[in-house]
Amino acid sequence: MTTDQQTLAVIFGGPTVEHTISIRSARAVIAAADPQRWRVLPIAVTRDAGWLAPAESAELLARIDAGADEEVVSPQPLSALEAASALADCAAAFPLVHGTWGEDGVLQGFLETVGIPYVGPGVAASALAMNKAASKPIFQAAGIPVAPSLAVPLIAWRQDPIAAQRDAAQLGYPLFVKPSNGGSSIGATRVESREDLADAFRAAYECDHTALVERAMLDAREIECAILGNAQPRASALGEIRTARSFYDYIAKYEDPNTELIVPADLDPEIAERIRSYSLAAFEAVGAHGMARADFLLAPDGELWLGELNTIPGFTSASMYPRLWEACGLSFRGLVTRLVELALERARCAENLR
Ligand SMILES: Nc1ncnc2c1ncn2[C@@H]1O[C@H](COP(=O)(O)OP(=O)(O)O)[C@@H](O)[C@H]1O
Ligand SMILES: [Mg+2]
């Protein structure tokens, strides 16, 4: 280890539907991390939230590099206490577990208790951003346009599913029904008519206790903006996602080779500026730090809705977040260094407040 090198834990896998994607993100971040600056300590998490020791995690990544399955399994995972002690000597951690448990404040809270600085937003901002029903009124209060919507808790659905469907239909078809806490479009359905509404609610409740119903934006373009920074965050160039499918569903995200990521997006400069300014406003509204990716829907008439703020965006080399910064002249390697520096800076500020 050179004198300037600091240990950076990269945490990946996890009990989430985005487990495999997380492993891909971690491999890309580890490959990009500047070896002069960071000694990477990989820490894998199994699908049932068991932690793997760094040596075992490194072996796993080597096996995956050699072509093995992208799956973390361990006969003898560490306890959370043992994982905490493996993390204790690290200068910082880079949580790369997407979705619930990793992106919703749970893992961030664990890192807070261990006392280790970490990349990305803190507990409350992560939890809020992950919860679409909770973040929507916060975005609205900040003057950011969002889809007309209705949140239906499972308890209300169980009490009166007919009333829930009647209220949802008031938004007008087509509708989207999705889990409030979810990701990768899992449990999200585009509903064209009344016959499919109940099944769409049931699919959402497979993933979360609250279903969010939104009016669909027709012929929407999907535009994404990356945000980076702490007290003075910056908004990146914009990217567009194009899919031939009826919406940007799981297959379009991870399996369909025809899905296109276009960077930079071809946009009217005034609309692009609005998107960047809404992205920064959304980041501030939930109290985020470090990084996030804001996803928008843009209608042919220029109407704009913020769909969601992702606090641990995809990090493979083909992913939108690093590509947007590359378009702004910041390399993947430079981005990883900047994110860890921001994590360290934020921890120092928190320390000064005590
Ligand atoms: N109100 C809406 N109008 C049009 N398309 C939508 C709407 N809500 C969701 N979608 C489509 O579904 C995708 C996934 O929805 P999103 O809310 O981003 O959930 P996730 O967190 O699973 O990505 C979006 O990228 C978009 O293609
Ligand atoms: Mg999305």
191 and 64 fall within a common domain: no
112 and 239 fall within a common domain: no
Provide the pLDDT for residue 70: 81
- 184 has catalytic annotation: yes
The whole-number average pLDDT for the span 313-317 is 92
CATH of the domain at 159: 3.30.1490.20
Ligand 1 center to 307 CA (angstroms): 7
Provide the pLDDT for residue 59: 93
**pTM of the predicted model as reported, rounded to 2 decimal places:** 0.96
Q: Which ligand is nearest to the CA of 252?
A: 1
Query: At which of 215, 234, 252 does a domain end?
Result: 215
196 and 280 fall within a common domain: no
Q: Using the predicted structure, report yes or no on whether residue 1 has a pLDDT greater than 60.
A: no
Task: Please report whether residue 160 resides in a domain.
Answer: yes
Q: Using the predicted structure, report yes or no on whether residue 40 has a pLDDT greater than 60.
A: yes
The whole-number average pLDDT for the span 178-186 is 93
- 310 has catalytic annotation: yes
Task: Please report whether residue 141 resides in a domain.
Answer: yes
Task: Please report whether residue 351 resides in a domain.
Answer: no
57 and 105 fall within a common domain: yes
* Token reading at 212: 């969010």
107 and 138 fall within a common domain: no
Query: At which of 167, 200, 215 does a domain end?
Result: 215
169 and 46 fall within a common domain: no
Ligand 2 center to 84 CA (angstroms): 31
**pLDDT, tens digit, 9 for 90 and up, residues 50-98:** 999 999 999 999 999 898 888 888 778 898 899 999 999 899 999 999 9
Provide the pLDDT for residue 352: 74
**pLDDT, tens digit, 9 for 90 and up, residues 189-244:** 999 999 999 999 999 999 999 999 999 999 999 999 999 999 999 999 999 999 99
188 and 299 fall within a common domain: no
232 and 184 fall within a common domain: no
Q: Using a pLDDT cut of 90, give the percent of the chain over it.
A: 88
**pLDDT, tens digit, 9 for 90 and up, residues 239-272:** 999 999 999 999 999 899 999 999 999 999 999 9
199 and 103 fall within a common domain: no
Task: Please report whether residue 242 resides in a domain.
Answer: yes
Which domain range does residue 290 map to?
129-145+218-311
- 260 has catalytic annotation: no
Q: Which residues surround ligand 2, an ion (CB under 5 A)?
A: 295
Task: Please report whether residue 325 resides in a domain.
Answer: no
